Amino acid sequence: MGAMARILVTEEIAEGGLDRLRSAGHDVDVQFDLDDLLVNIRGAQGLIIRSATQVTAEVLEHADQLVVIGRAGIGLDNVDVEAATRRGVMVVNAPQSNIISAAEHTMALLLAQARNIPQAHAALTAGRWERSRWEGVELADKTLAVIGLGRIGKLVADRAKAFGMRVIAYDPFVSADRARQMGVELLSLDQVVGEADFVTIHLPKTKETTGLINRDLLLKAKPTMRLINVARGGIVDEAELAEAIRDGVIAGAALDVFATEPTVDSPLFAMQQVIVTPHLGASTREAQDKAGDTIADMVHLALAGEFVPFAVNVNAAEANETMRPFLPLAERLGRLFASLVGGAPRQIEVCTEGDIAGYDTRILTLAALKGFFGSVTDEPVTYVNAPQLAKEHGVEIRETNCATSADFVNLMTLRGGDRSLSGTLVGRRGAQRIVMIDDHSFDVPPADHMLMIKNDDRPGVIGIVGTLLGNAGVNIADMDVGAAADARTAVMLIAPTGEVGDEVLAQLRLAPGIISVDALTC
């Protein structure tokens, strides 16, 4: 593509970033009327957005010349990345633009909660001198629990230590060695909540983390504990948090994010122990400037056909024709493996066997890491940043190749934390198969939800499992039974048609003859 391209900008972007694109010779077309998006997108080679523009499959159908979509920020909920990928449109973002702003806003809310600053301000401006009423507490020598030690969580931990706080953390995907290097003590979720004077949340919003902070968990806290959330709305059950504060279970909270946004109505808003802000975590001039500058650079690189560090979707051109079909399998194995190990192992070994082992398999390793860390962080994970995420989580990556495979033409295996998972492609259409878990052989297509059940090798156990699932309204799409190393035990791999709830999993684990149950998701 030549130097000149039309770049449609549909939302407010820092002018410095747009000037960079103009200086590079591009036509920057600023059109904020989203009602005309389907018309304005025609003929544009680049599209720069923030969070309001919805880039749907319909929009992409009208984008007859689009090469790249740039999101000036982190989240991509408003972009149909799969549809963009199918149409060969690159999607890029600015994943590090707001981490300092979010960490600093966390510290601002931490200090405001400790010293009752908004409440005292409101009282004084209303004509009330309430010096004794708004007595606070010092941060020095208090314990801060950081739930989620990603980039923002680490920055918060560093800043809290500067205030003389003891920092503890919960993050199953950070190794103890890595935490020690940060000067942070890793504990279980119940322990950190129970020991903390302040709890701050820095988790992605996933099925597992939605509603994680609820009344049952808060009942484990000290009555003087205060909660801060600058992560994602919905991780905290707001109704149960309000109830816990009202009942004196904890002392207060400071929230920047909410389950529904925008919102001006919440039981928390009427509580004097609660401080709220309208999702200001990334709302600094510096964060907006960084986002604008970064996305301008990424869009310029994409339009020039050069290497793009923050490309989110797959660039299959990096793989040859032989390797390309294995990329989706590798990424899916990574996602399943993350749920199998339940945390970040010290080492992940990616082993390829057969014909593919004769090629450069590094892109398969990157695809596996992309799947693995995509399951444990809300940051967009790419082939470029996946190795860095592994390093930040204290995970060593090892690659091994074997030119021959005893049983398969090609085989890919992930190992770590005493667990292993193998997959391959079969048939002329290259259908994906899970063929081994922990050295137990199977032949089951991977599914979004899977169960691996180890049981006593005796009649009736499979029936018990089928009955429990049937009673819960769970159908079985695929299933295979493999032998275990111990001749007295057997292993089932089941692909149900939907997610199996926690209550059913608990019933399975307590059923006669059942030794263990692993729930896998991807």
Residue 329 inside a domain? The answer is no
> 232 and 119 share a domain?
yes
pLDDT for residue 482: 80
Q: By C-alpha distance, which of 492, 509, 38, 71 is closest to 310? A: 71
pLDDT of residue 314: 53
- Specify whether 217 is located in the same domain as 296: no
Domain annotation covers residue 498: no
Indicate whether 111 and 232 sit together in one domain: yes
Tell me the DSSP string of 497-516: SSPPPHHHHHHHHHSTTEEE
Give, for 424, the enclosing helix (H) or strand (E).
strand 419-426
Is 63 among the domain residues?
yes
The pLDDT of residue 75 is 76
**Residue positions counted in the chain:** 522
Q: Are residues 169 and 190 in the same domain?
A: yes
Query: Could you tell me the two tokens for 392?
Result: 């930040």
* Same domain, residue pair 51 and 189: no
Give the pLDDT score at 1: 46
Q: Assess whether 104 and 89 both reside in one domain.
A: no
Contacts of 315 by beta carbon, 8 Å cutoff, 6+ apart: 90, 308, 383
- Is there a domain that residue 454 lies in? no
- Say whether both 64 and 111 belong to one domain: no
CATH number of the domain at 32, please.
Answer: 3.40.50.720
Contacts from 430-439 at CB under 8 Å and sequence distance 24+?
430/325, 432/328, 432/329, 432/332, 434/336, 434/493, 435/408, 435/411, 437/340, 437/491, 437/493, 439/485
DSSP type of residue 419: E
Q: What is the pLDDT of residue 317?
A: 44
Tell me whether residue 431 is in a domain: no
d(CA 190, CA 220): 7
Do both 189 and 228 map to the same domain?
yes
In a domain, 521, yes or no: no
Taking the C-alpha atoms of residue 480 and residue 278, their distance in angstroms, rounded to an integer, is 50
Instruction: Assess whether the previous peptide bond of 309 is cis (omega < 30° from 0).
Output: no
372 part of a folded domain: no
Q: Domain check: are 25 and 129 in the same one?
A: no
- pLDDT averages per 10-residue partition of the chain, 522 residues: 82 93 95 94 96 93 94 86 85 90 97 97 96 96 96 95 98 87 94 98 88 97 98 95 98 96 92 96 92 95 81 61 85 95 91 88 89 82 78 91 79 94 92 92 93 92 93 93 80 92 93 94 84
Range of the domain at 31: 6-97+285-303
* 78 and 106 housed in the same domain: no
Is residue 121 domain-shared with residue 146, that is, in the same domain?
yes
Residue 145: inside a domain, yes or no?
yes
Tokens of 426: 């079969």
- Cα separation of 293 and 314, whole Å? 23
CB 387 within 8 A of CB 437: no
Q: What is the pLDDT of residue 177?
A: 83
| Pair of tokens at residue 43 | 């003929």
**Predicted local distance difference test score (pLDDT) of residue 236:** 97
Domain count, the chain: 2
Catalytic residues: 232, 261, 279
Same domain, yes or no, for 78 and 103? Answer: no
Say which DSSP state 479 is in: E
Q: Give the separation between CA 295 and CA 48, rounded to whole angstroms.
A: 8
Q: Write down the pLDDT at residue 491.
A: 93
